[in-house]
Structure 1
Amino acid sequence: MSVEIELRAARVRYGPLEALHGVDLAVPARSLTVLLGRNGSGRTTVLRALAGTVALTAGRVVWRGEDVTRLPAHHRARRGLCLVPDVRAVHAGLTVTENLRLAAPGGEFTAALDGYPALRPLLGRRAGTLSGGEQRMLAVSRALVGGARLVLLDEPAQGMAPETAERTYDLLAQLARERAVVVAEQRLPPGRPAIVHRLRRGNVVFSGESAEFDGLAPG
């Protein structure tokens, strides 16, 4: 299995606090990777380090064999990386249609509406007026139609109804057949093969397939 992107001995500090303590973590190509951990475990920082929105204090980020540690976030985005953060993931002042057209190459976003039919009656609404779950649908839809080869999502199903959350992970699993998809979650989405990295206090304490992870005690 080829590696899409990886952290090598990565350390990140926020002021006096070190959030990642020499993390080694590989993301396979064309796969679903899940970063598990409680709040404060470092999973969001891993996403930000991969995306370039936080700088490493030590270590490297290697993307398809190239050291991109010093490559700014906007250059990584131009190369095909999409980050969907847990907050402020949509353009609040633009309509749903405008959000989707900006994300989709050529402005074609039919796939987003096929994935989330509930967005159809909301196309004329400004994104900032949507509920939390509706904004998450829009944010994930932007990633689905954007054409990025590496998609990073922080709690993509946050605020969604259970059936919509299930639909979201079905869509992400389909996307992972062609691209590298990384999600940060507190719990492992059931029934979907994935590579799992479990973090605790800035360290990786488990790496393996989801089948191996099943049955391990929570913590």
Structure 2
Amino acid sequence: MLTVEGLRSRYGRIEVLHGIDLTVQSGEIVTVVGANGAGKTTLLKCLSGTQPVSGGTITFRGESLTGVPAHRRPARGLTQSPEGRQIFTNLTVEENLRLGAFLYADDRVDKDMQDAFAMFPILREKRNLPAGGLSGGQQQMLAMSRALMGRPSCLLLDEPSMGLAPIIVRQIFDVVGSLKALGVTVLLVEQNAFGALKIADRGYVMETGRIIMSGAADDLIADPRIRTAYLGI
């Protein structure tokens, strides 16, 4: 579904991605883990079109994304839940969700919203309240749900557990793990390597803008190098 080959990106003169190769097959949950500053968020920004690519190719569902602007990529089936949530705090929860469905004007939008409420019931309770009044965990639920309102075939998730209490992190990861059954392919970027690998099919380990390891998620969890460097074991 998604193929990245030799991807490079720069901030000014400084290259931050040094030839990334990565694939995501339809129906998979694939995670990219690594320490802060490894280049994970820059990778997702390149995929969503908000960060310039200086080399390499991105192919999604058999078509090149080269030259496709960020605002047109959701129509291709690729949406992102960004780092830091980036919700509209002055709008209500429901208004934020409807913005996620900007591509559609059909009867399914209301059903999609009910699906979001079923996934995160607290959003139903808060639907008419300003999103700025939500807790950090609730804002993350809203950001994910807003991205899903775009009916993606592939969801890019950037650090959904960042800054959240452990009980909320478990809830978020449980929902991410359930997306496969809904037919949504997921590329998950996370510092929480253990939590991400537990729900993923495959994983990539990034370090200073390079992929240094990849493989089945269970194999990465069992690898002594990963356990020491990223899992704290």
Same fold by TM-score, threshold 0.5 exceeded? yes
Cα distance between partner residues in 2 of 1:144 and 1:64: 18
Q: Aligned-residue CA RMSD in angstroms?
A: 1.7
Equivalent in the alignment of 2:93? 96
User: What is the aligned partner in structure 2 of residue 185 from structure 1?
Assistant: 190
Q: Distance in 2 between matches of 1:6 and 1:71?
A: 15
Mapped to 1, the partners of 2:178 and 2:66 lie a distance apart of 29
* Structure 2 unmatched ranges of 5 or more: 102-107
Amino acid of the residue matched to residue 162 of structure 1?
A: P
Find the counterpart in structure 2 of residue 212 from structure 1: 219
Aligned counterpart in structure 1 of residue 143 of structure 2, from 131, 139, 156: 139
> Is the partner of 1:176 in helix, strand or coil?
helix
Shift of 1:152: 0.3
| CA-to-aligned-CA distance 1:128-165 (integer Å, 9 cap, x gap) | 22222221111112233431111001111223332222
Residue equivalent to 2:74: 77
Aligned length, in residue pairs: 216
CA distance in 2, matches of 1:115, 1:88: 17
Shift in Å, 1:195? 1.2
1 or 2, which has the higher helix percentage?
2
Counterparts of 2:115 and 2:169, CA distance in 1? 17
- Alpha-carbon shift at residue 213 of structure 1 (Å): 0.1
Q: Tell me if structure 1 keeps the 8 A contact 2:34–2:205.
A: yes
Tell me the TM-score normalized by structure 1.
Answer: 0.91
- Cα distance in 2 for partners of 1:32, 1:88 equals 20
SS for the counterpart of 1:156 is coil
Equivalent of 2:45 in 21, 45, 48: 48
List structure 1 runs of 4+ shifted beyond 3 angstroms.
none
Deviation at 1:21, TM superposition (A): 0.3
1:124 is aligned to 128
Alpha carbons 2:119, 2:175 under 8 Å: kept? yes
Q: Distance in 2 between matches of 1:160 and 1:137?
A: 11
Partner Cα separation in structure 2 for residue 24 and residue 166 of structure 1: 30
Counterpart CA distance in 2 for 1:169 and 1:80 is: 22
SS of 1:137's partner is helix
3-state DSSP class of the match of 1:214?
Answer: helix
Alpha-carbon distance, 1:179 to partner:
2.0
Q: Is the CA contact 2:131–2:139 (under 8 Å) kept in the aligned structure 1?
A: yes
